[in-house]
Structure formats: C-alpha cells, structure tokens
Amino acid sequence: MLIEDVFKFKKKSLIYTAIFVSFLLLFSILIPTLRTPAFEILKYPLGLFTLISREVEGIIFYHRNFVQNEKLKKEIDFLKKKVNAANEVYLENRRLKNLLSFKQKTHLKVVSARIIGRSADNWSSIVIIDKGSYNGIKRGFVVINYLGLVGRVIETGGSTSKIMLINDPGFGVSAIVQRSRQEGLVSGTLGRSLIMKYLPKDADIRACDVVITSGLTEAYPKGLLIGSVISIGEEFSGLTCYAIIKPTVNLSSIEEVLIIIP
C-alpha cells in the first residue's frame, strides 16, 4: 500500500513538472527573447524531474527485487521440504531394509512393529508399539531390532503394546561376556548406558568386550547382542565388580522393532 501511494505522488509530480516545462518551452519558441531566461528557469524543474525519475526507478528496482526475493524464498522453502521428505523416506527405507534382511536371515519367528509413543516421565523408559494381542503379542515377549536387544513387552492391548526398554531400571536379563563367557546380570540405569552387576572381583572382562544374552533368563534367546563394555568398577562392598555397558541399539532414536514370537 505504501509503494502504491509513493507511485501516485511521483506520478502527479511528474505530470505537473511536464506541464510546466511544456509551457516554458512553448513561450521560449514563440518569444525568442525569453529563450535564455526560460532555459535558466528550466534547469530547476528539469533537475527535479531527473531526481524524481531516479527515485521512481529506484523504487521500481527495489520492488522488483523484493518480489523476486520473496518468490525465491518460497521456492527454497519448498525445495527444502522436498529434500527433507526425500531424506526421511530414504532413511526409513534403509531401516526397513535392514529389518527385512534380519527377518530373512534369523531363525527366530518375529513380528515387525512401529513405535508410536514414548513415556513422558523421567523415571521409566517405556515405548508403545502399534501391534497388540490381535497380532499375537503377549506380555513377556522379547523385543529386538536388527542391531540387538531392545526390551520386553510388559502390557498388551488389542492393537497396541507397551515395551520396557533395556535401559529402564526395572529391566534385567542374564548376560555373558562373549569373549570370556563371564556371566552377570544386565539392567537399566535410565541413561544411555546399562550396568552389568554381580561380577566377581577377578572377572575376566575388559573394555570393548561384547556382551550378549546368556539364554538363562526365560524367553530370551541366547546370543542376542546387548552392548559393549565401556568401563569396569568395584562395588562399595568390595566383594564384587560391575561393568558399564553401551547398548548396541540407539534407544533414543529407534522407530521400528521386531517382537520375538516363541
């Protein structure tokens, strides 16, 4: 609206200036003695005319650039959305391809599911999946993905189920160190790491050792990847040791899982 007002004002100024100049030129032609004074007088309106013309050109240039910039911004935003959508599809396809490949290679009977919700509190690590009793899911079933152990089913509905992740403090599974076969109990810490407890002081365990399920806990098949050892420490009692484990599965970003059907 402001630009339109400026154009109207400039247009009127140009018209008045043009009329004034026309009259002066006409009189200077009809009356030669007025020619020199007329040209002197015309210097000012012509200068004003030039100034106004430049301002109008500047406004037009600015307006065109503004419109073009806005158009380019919209096009860039649109392309960004397209790229993000394409990238999301690519990542999802890669995850699903990995899950499918695992399903085809494993001897386990599994049902795939998507995570559709997460616990909002700070004292548990629970997710909700889009499969339930209608799909044959039952309480206690083990949940994995192509990288390793994810958790277990703790509650089922008709079309959804609740999964306790392995980093929940209420989670526990018998495990062994793959290299030395040292046994222990892995449980959650609510953080990004797990803890392997009840290790003897002379336990054969060291950093980077791989930890897997031992098969001693009911429903958990032997050999599922849990994580790798980050560090080892001694309990306060001084009688046993513990190991901090980094989960193989990135629990904070997991989106698809597999439920083992016994």
Domain membership of residue 45 as a residue range: 2-78
Q: Encoding tokens for residue 45?
A: 């309106």
Q: Residue 5's pLDDT is what?
A: 52
pLDDT band at 107 (very low <50, low <70, confident <90, very high): confident
Rg of the Cα atoms in the chain? 38
Query: For 138-193, what is each residue's pLDDT tens digit?
Result: 999 999 998 999 999 999 999 999 999 999 999 999 999 999 999 999 999 988 89
Q: Which of 78, 95, 120 marks a domain boundary?
A: 78
Contact 213, 260 (CB under 8 A): no
- CA–centroid distance for 8 within its chain: 49
Instruction: Assign residue 126 the CATH number of its domain.
Output: 2.40.10.340
pLDDT band at 65 (very low <50, low <70, confident <90, very high): confident
CB atoms within 10 A of CB 230: 13
Are 177 and 225 members of one domain? yes
Are 65 and 16 members of one domain? yes
Contact 126, 152 (CB under 8 A): no
Angle at 245 between CA 243 and CA 248, to 5 degrees: 160
Size (the chain), residues: 262
Q: Residue 14's pLDDT is what?
A: 54
pLDDT band at 68 (very low <50, low <70, confident <90, very high): confident
Q: How many domains does the chain have?
A: 3
Residue type, 172: G
Are 140 and 192 members of one domain? no
**Listed ranges 13-17, 67-71, 124-128, 170-174; the one with the highest mean pLDDT:** 170-174
* Mean pLDDT within 58-81: 76
Out of 83-97, 124-138, 148-162, least confident range: 83-97
* Mean pLDDT within 32-56: 59
Are 31 and 60 members of one domain? yes
Residue 83 lies in a domain: no
| pTM of model > 0.75 | no
Query: For 217-233, what is each residue's pLDDT tens digit?
Result: 888 999 999 999 999 99
List, in sequence order, every residue forming a beta bridge with 183; answer none if it has no partner. 176
- CA–centroid distance for 103 within its chain: 27
Distance from C-alpha of 154 to C-alpha of 133, rounded to nearest angstrom: 12
